[in-house]
Copies of this chain bind each other. A is one copy, B any other.
């Protein structure tokens, strides 16, 4: 199970957080490999458990169990539960940023927004747990990522707001409040991750098929683009 999504992101930290994972010099290559595999397995398991149970509800016992490691080993790699949590959030922020960068400010609205909405929808599909961890963190009042919101997110948002205002000035879209558009995109795309349980229930208890999801992606895009007069 490990490594599919959260591969080897443990060394970096997007949030300016001291997630300093121990830095012991390792001589043999194989040991490094074991270390990375273990860390990846822990991060992968942690993302799921934090998503399903929230910060407090997640137990290191369960995370270790899913990573098929003794709990003591988990604490060997991540000194505290909180440090592990921060690293998970950092990885989520990174994938969010990757999707965000598909919103190219130079493009025309239809192309830029279509790309961005598709990227966000794909992220909700491929990594719903990350979205849930993020949502949980925001609902808690963002104790860990508040600084990230005030820097990276605010900067990114400001640049996109400007871009949208240019589109309005050029008459490419109707005059709307740019932030409202961004909120609608975030809300709608992330809903497919955060509310999977509800969506599945209303789909006769069947998870959305790839086909259904692709259809949703196209419709979401079209409704929003028409909604702002870009089509």
Partner of A141, one of B52, B174, B222: B52
Q: Is A138 an interface residue (CB 8 A)?
A: yes
Partner of A139, one of B51, B215, B219: B51
Partner of A140, one of B54, B190, B202: B54
Give bound CA distance, A141 to B195, whole Å: 9
Which residues 146-203 of A sit at the B interface, judged by CB distance below 8 A? Answer: 146, 149-150, 153-154, 157, 174, 176-177, 179-181, 183-184, 186-188, 190-192, 194-195, 197-199, 201-203
* Closest Cβ–Cβ distance, residue A118 to chain B (whole Å): 15
Partner of A224, one of B51, B150, B216, B223: B223
Return chain B residues, CB-CB under 8 Å to A150.
201, 205
Return chain B residues, CB-CB under 8 Å to A56.
53-54, 56-57
- What 1/0 flags go to A50-71 for Cβ under 8 Å of B? 0111111100000000000000
* Closest Cβ–Cβ distance, residue A140 to chain B (whole Å): 6
Return chain B residues, CB-CB under 8 Å to A192.
183
Q: Are A55 and B54 in contact (CB under 8 A)?
A: yes
Q: Are A188 and B184 in contact (CB under 8 A)?
A: yes
User: Residue on B with the closest CB to A174?
Assistant: B226
Q: Are A202 and B54 in contact (CB under 8 A)?
A: no
Secondary structure class of chain A's binding surface, majority of residues: helix
User: Residue on B with the closest CB to A231?
Assistant: B227
* A-B residue pairs, 10 tightest by C-beta: A227-B227, A56-B57, A187-B191, A223-B227, A54-B54, A187-B187, A149-B201, A56-B56, A180-B219, A187-B188
A-B contact pairs, 27 of them (CB 8 A): A51-B139, A52-B139, A53-B56, A54-B55, A54-B56, A54-B136, A55-B57, A56-B57, A57-B57, A138-B197, A139-B197, A146-B201, A149-B198, A153-B202, A154-B202, A177-B219, A179-B203, A180-B216, A183-B188, A183-B199, A184-B220, A187-B187, A222-B227, A223-B224, A223-B228, A225-B227, A227-B227
* Closest Cβ–Cβ distance, residue A109 to chain B (whole Å): 14
Query: Oligomeric state, in number of copies?
Result: 2
User: Residue on B with the closest CB to A180?
Assistant: B219
